[in-house]
């Protein structure tokens, strides 16, 4: 079994180290901040202890997992790794610098992966001499619990490296999907409208946060409404991903960030972790009641789901992923109750198209333009899945 190196011991890196060690690999976890490394060690030990208490694993297994992970502040210990997964801060310059340093340490056949959410794998790889061994292996938060992993080849990644990496991550019990190296890959691109269109609905004064959250839970079956979810993810992280995806799509209007979320970000109203976001999480705070109006709820749901389905269809049209992987990604990466293409079939693609063309006509905005593939499917009376 290859030795796995993980760089960056924050939320993602420590989760990935846990997953790899649980799968039986010897793991070395590195961070350039020694207190972050110490914190990762104590929180991993605490997690394993909790898993034993909950009888999810035996004490022996917990000890084995723990023994397999070493914590290091010297990159040289990565020389014997077969795979390295980088999970440092989302900063292209820092990632490029790290990858070029790594190349001088690792063996020729070591695979170098990035867990980036929104940066281009090709640009990270460009810092290396051997660009064909660099790819994206994108876990979701929390890595030990979320089943999805997106596998992203850069423009020059070897096919064989993509295949063996995918097989390896599958063997860790994860569900892998293959995504093209485009901004946000699958999930962080397709899910944008869940947040963006919901904020737009709020900004127009159509409904408040609690009502929009209620509508998407009630009529869509989503586990969390968009505002609850943004507060859970953190408005700092969610806003930054939105801004990056929009910029990288050459300012595509469908992905345009909102002032509502930008102001929250500026005010450090990050959500649950800061005690305040769209909702107030301070002690004794009362959660506002939604306006449970069925007609309004349906209008909200129809608008958001049409935007989401359109995005999934456009991603398929542009070969970002296969239709199966697109649907798998949304159910396994962000817990959507159904895959969006299947959902489109169920609602009726002609109905999705009508919602979008009505919105486009009403607003006169490019944001609502239907994907060419959606129009084609309706014209030919086709479904994605029979």
Which positions lie near ligand NAD, rule CB under 6 A?
7-13, 31-33, 36, 87-90, 94, 98, 115-117, 139-141, 237
> 235, 383, 221, 368: which is closest to 308 by C-alpha?
368
Instruction: Decide whether 69 or 352 has the Cβ nearer to ligand NAD.
Output: 69
**Concatenated DSSP letters of 300-344:** HHHHHHHHHHHHHHHHHHTTSS-HHHHHHHHHHHS--SS-HHHHH
Selected catalytic residue, list 25, 86, 118, 138: 138
Q: Is 286 left (phi over 0), alpha (psi -120 to 50) or beta?
A: beta
Q: Which residues contact 23 (CB under 8 A, 6 or more apart)?
A: 171, 172, 173
Q: Which residue is nearest to ligand NAD (CB)?
A: 10
The one catalytic residue in 9, 188, 302, 371 is 188
3-state SS assignment for residue 88: coil
- The residue from 9, 86, 120, 150 that is catalytic is 150
For ligand NAD, which is the closer residue by CB, 141 or 293?
141
Rounded least distance, CB 375 to ligand NAD, Å: 33
Question: In this complex, which beta carbon is closest to ligand NAD, that of residue 232 or of residue 385?
Answer: 232
Residue with tokens 């959606």: 374
Quote the CA–CA distance of 262 and 269 in Å, as a whole number. Answer: 10
Give the nearest distance from C-beta 198 to ligand NAD in angstroms: 19
Instruction: From the candidates 14, 114, 115, 117, give the one annotated as an active-site residue.
Output: 117
Quote the least distance from Cβ 116 to ligand NAD, whole Å.
4
Tokens (6 digits) for 131: 């660009």
Query: Smallest gap, in angstroms, from Cβ of residue 36 to ligand NAD?
Result: 3
Q: Which is nearer to ligand NAD, 97 or 383 (CB)?
A: 97
Q: Check if 351 is active-site.
A: no
Q: Is 188 a catalytic residue?
A: yes
Residues that are catalytic: 117, 138, 150, 188
């Amino acid at each position: 079994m290859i030795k796995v190196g993980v760089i960056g011991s924050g939320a993602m890196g420590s989760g990935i180290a846990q997953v790899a060690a649980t799968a039986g690999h010897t793991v070395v976890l590195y961070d350039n901040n020694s207190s972050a490394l110490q914190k990762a060690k104590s929180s991993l030990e605490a997690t394993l202890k909790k898993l034993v208490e909950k009888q999810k694993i035996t004490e022996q297994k917990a000890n084995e997992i723990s023994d397999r992970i070493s914590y290091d502040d010297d990159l040289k210990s990565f020389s014997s790794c077969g795979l390295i997964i980088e999970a440092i801060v989302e900063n292209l310059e820092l990632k490029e610098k790290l990858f070029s340093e790594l190349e001088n340490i690792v063996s020729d056949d070591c695979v170098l992966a990035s867990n980036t959410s929104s940066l281009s794998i090709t640009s990270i790889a460009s810092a290396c001499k051997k660009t064909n061994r660099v790819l994206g292996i994108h876990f979701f938060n929390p890595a030990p619990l979320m089943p999805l992993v997106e596998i992203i080849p850069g423009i020059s990644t070897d096919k064989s490296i993509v295949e063996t990496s995918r097989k390896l991550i599958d063997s860790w019990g994860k569900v892998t999907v293959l995504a093209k190296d485009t901004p946000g890959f699958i999930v962080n691109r397709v899910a944008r409208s869940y947040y963006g269109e919901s904020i737009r609905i709020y900004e127009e004064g159509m409904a408040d946060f609690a009502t929009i959250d209620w509508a998407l839970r009630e009529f869509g079956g989503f586990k969390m409404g968009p505002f609850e979810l943004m507060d859970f993810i953190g408005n700092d992280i969610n806003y930054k991903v939105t801004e990056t995806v929009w910029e990288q799509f050459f300012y595509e209007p469908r992905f345009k960030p909102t002032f509502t979320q930008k102001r929250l970000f500026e005010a450090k109203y990050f959500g649950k972790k800061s005690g305040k976001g769209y909702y107030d999480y301070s002690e004794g705070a009362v959660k506002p009641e939604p306006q449970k109006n069925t007609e309004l709820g349906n209008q909200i749901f129809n608008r958001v789901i049409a935007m989401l389905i359109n995005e999934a269809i456009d991603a398929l049209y542009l070969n970002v992923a296969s239709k199966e992987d697109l649907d798998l990604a949304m159910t396994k990466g962000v817990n959507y109750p159904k895959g969006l293409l299947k959902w489109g079939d169920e609602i009726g693609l002609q109905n999705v198209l009508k919602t979008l063309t009505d919105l486009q006509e009403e607003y006169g905005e490019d944001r609502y333009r239907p994907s060419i593939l959606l129009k084609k499917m309706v014209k030919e009376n086709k479904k994605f899945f029979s």
